[in-house]
């Protein structure tokens, strides 16, 4: 987005007040600026919608804007003249024009079906031996950030052929041991 100088100065104030909100919300504050137009912008009623939104955000704070020349505003003047220690640290590298751009977004998979099965097995077995059902296994795969069109069918097939799940069968609440004391 293209912001004017006044908008950038205003955005800096909005950002600072939002960042330090917990410190500034119930206290009086003074904003020293060398941008005199900013002082009058708060009283202006026919500004851009973006500026009006920012003014509304700032209305909950108790502050006043004081116009100070740049040379008199020592803190800001000193900060603007600091050297950047990271400037010119990295050597520019040459661009290899022969590198085919099409290969940048491709990841090669030896066998995507096997990779899908490995992901399903990892989510089905779980780190502590889960052996969840097909629906929950599919949900865990989704939550892990993976997807393929036949995920439900593959999860159902995996659970159906899982030796441990077939031996134990489906355990429902009805089959569980009672949670209360036996007297």
Residue 120 host element (H or E): helix 112-125
CA distance 133 to 159: 6
Give the chain's length.
183
How high is the pLDDT of residue 76? 64
Cβ 3 vs Cβ 11: under 8 Å: yes
**170 CA to centre of own chain:** 39
CA distance 38 to 9: 7
- The pLDDT tens digits for 74-118 are 666 666 667 777 676 666 677 776 666 665 555 555 667 888 888
How high is the pLDDT of residue 150? 87
Q: What is the pTM of this model?
A: 0.42
How high is the pLDDT of residue 31? 87
Q: Shortest CA distance to 162 belongs to which of 127, 111, 128, 123?
A: 123
């Amino acid at each position: 987005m293209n912001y004017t100088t006044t908008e950038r100065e205003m955005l800096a104030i909005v950002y600072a007040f939002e960042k330090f909100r917990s410190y500034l919300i119930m206290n009086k504050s003074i904003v020293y600026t060398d941008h005199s137009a900013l002082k009058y912008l708060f009283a202006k009623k026919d500004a851009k919608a973006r500026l009006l939104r920012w003014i509304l955000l700032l209305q909950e704070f108790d502050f006043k804007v004081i116009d100070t020349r740049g040379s008199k505003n020592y803190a800001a003047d000193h900060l603007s003249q600091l050297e950047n220690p990271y400037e010119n640290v990295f050597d520019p590298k040459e661009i290899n024009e022969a590198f085919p751009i099409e290969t940048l977004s491709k990841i090669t998979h030896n066998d995507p079906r096997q990779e899908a099965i490995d992901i399903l097995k990892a989510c089905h077995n779980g780190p502590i031996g889960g052996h969840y059902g097909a629906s929950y296994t599919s949900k865990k795969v989704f939550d892990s950030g993976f997807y393929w069109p036949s995920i439900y069918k593959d999860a159902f097939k995996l659970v159906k052929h899982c030796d441990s799940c077939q031996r134990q069968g489906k355990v429902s609440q009805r089959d569980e041991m009672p949670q209360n004391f036996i007297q």
